[in-house]
Amino acid sequence: MTAIPSPSQAVWHLGPLPIRAYSLLMVLAVAVGIWATQRRWTARGGERGTVGDIATWAVPLGMIGARIYHVATDWQQYFGPGKDPLRAFAIWEGGISIWGAVAGGALGAWLACRRRGIPLRDFADAAAPGIAFGQVIARWGNWFNQELYGRPTTLPWALEIDPAHRPPGMESTATYHPAFLYESLWDLGVAGLVLWAERRFRLDRGRVFALYAAAYTTGRAWIEWLRMDPAPVVLGLRFNVWTALLVLGAAVAYLTATRRTPTTDPRPAVRG
């Protein structure tokens, strides 16, 4: 049976310094996202350096939000009998959430945009494809950590998971759906869709970001349904499925409410 192998290790040591694949990919994802956003921002008439300044607020708050959301929704891993609460701060072990990252990053971007007098919706439109491209890269950190996989499968593209990382009671089941790969490919498609639709329909005023949110959450809801790692369940669905559906509904509502709004050329942005 063919299958995708998991990496044999996710951390390397340079003397006492651990080099973690997860961290390296996160740094690369952020760098690509900032680079793509900067190119789009300056193409709209924005000043160089603006994106970097906003990122100094958005990136740290995004990482904090990503960890807070993960710990809050998977609190059983860190709190309770036999658990070590200090592991809640061990972000290098994995365990961050895109929902918290976007919420925290949006808060940081809003604070920075407000200081510069820039409409957040204009910046969000410039950032949307870069966020998607960053997600394409960041998801491969889950591959190194042998996390974010789905239900058992024997498909040719199944993912091999080491016994130590398999769900309790399934130590003899070796292959699972590579949910991280599904999401990485989906994010690549989302980036392409957003770039195409922006040109085809001349989207602006927050509608580029709303389209990104709608497209991403459509795929994420299905991928969450595939997963089998422990997670809070509400009315028979994983909590993150409800989160995806809520964001999807909000994005579609915004796109619907603004569909008759006159479209302007999105390139002449506030210079910031």
Q: Are strands 17-20 and 159-160 parallel, antiparallel or unpaired?
A: unpaired
d(CA 97, CA 243): 11
Q: Which is nearest to 71 in space by CA: 106, 30, 99?
A: 99
- Here the tokens at position 18 are 């651990």
Check: CB of residue 244 under 8 Å from CB of residue 217.
Answer: yes
121 annotated as belonging to a binding site for a ligand: no
**C-beta separation of 210 from 251 below 8 A:** yes
End-to-end CA distance of the chain: 56
Binding-site residues from annotation: 139
